[in-house]
Amino acid sequence: MDDEELGLPKPKKYEGERFSALDYKTEEYAEVQTLGEAITLRGDKAFLRDVTPDDFLDDTPPGVEKIGIADLWSDSTWEKGETERNVDLERSAASLKAGDLLKVRPCSEDISEWGYRFHLVDGTTLPYEPYHDYDDQLFEDALENLFSGEWLACRVREVSCFGEDGIEVDPKFCWRVYSCKVTVYRCGSAKL
């Protein structure tokens, strides 16, 4: 069955940024002292690329603070005729749409290697993770600095699906990446 018959979006070809951890050794990051500083610098550059004038509007309720923009992702891989495609995972990832509200909940690293997971407001766990190292850094720092009664939320800005059925080096290998860009908020008692 193809994506449409499975109720999944047709994937676009990925033509975005290609980055390797080795890029942190390039001239662009020569002045930083630590890997953490390099990750922060890369995150700052991504923020400047993604931010829009609307991000500076004071449109949040009292007790809610915009703290950043992040990319989340969920991936699925399979080999034609050899391994089964995880359609349920993909449907869960594909269910998000612009405007959806997610909660970020801390959890044991036994449950998620990140120490947190993303949930719909109704409690449904989503298969998303931070896309980049600087996205993880944003969530980790924000979670560590929450006061009692505060929580993190994300408002979905946009969603996309990339993928291929067969790649040049392995025609049986298929992949999908579901990504969403979110605005991250620190929330107190107010509802978002």
Task: Provide DSSP, 126-165.
Answer: ---EESSHHHHHHHHHHHHTPPTT-EEEEEEEEEEEEEEE
**pLDDT for position 190:** 60
Query: pLDDT tier at 2 (50, 70, 90 boundaries)?
Result: confident
CA torsion through residues 130, 136, 140, 143, sign: negative
- What's the CA gap between 173 and 82, in Å, rounded? 10
More confident residue, 104 or 82: 104
Side-by-side strand order, sheet with 170-187: 116-120, 101-106, 151-167, 170-187, 64-79, 129-130
Q: How would residue 28 be classed by pLDDT, with cut points 50, 70 and 90?
A: confident
pTM of the model: 0.86
Average pLDDT over residues 92-111: 96
C-alpha 182/C-alpha 33 separation (Å) is 29
pLDDT > 70: percent of the chain: 98
> Whose structure tokens read 């979006």?
9
Confidence of residue 191 (pLDDT cuts 50, 70, 90): low
Closest CA to 66 of 77, 78, 50: 50
Q: Specify the pLDDT at position 192.
A: 64
Residue 41 backbone phi and psi in degrees, to 5: -60, -45
Lowest mean pLDDT among 37-46, 77-86, 88-97, 122-131: 37-46
What is the identity of the amino acid at 99?
Answer: G
Q: Is a pLDDT exceeding 90 seen at residue 77?
A: yes
pLDDT of residue 26: 84
CA–CA distance, 184 with 192 (Å, rounded to integer): 11
Q: Who contacts 155 (Cβ-Cβ below 8 Å, separation ≥6)? A: 99, 100, 101, 102, 182, 183, 185, 192
Flag the least confident range among 45-54, 77-86, 147-156, 157-166.
45-54
Least confident of 44-58, 73-87, 153-167: 44-58
Give the integer Cα–Cα distance in Å for 143 and 151. Answer: 8
Mean pLDDT of 128-149: 95
**Is the pLDDT confidence value at 95 over 80?**
yes
27 in helix, strand or coil?
helix
Mean pLDDT of the chain: 91
Question: How many residues belong to the chain?
Answer: 192
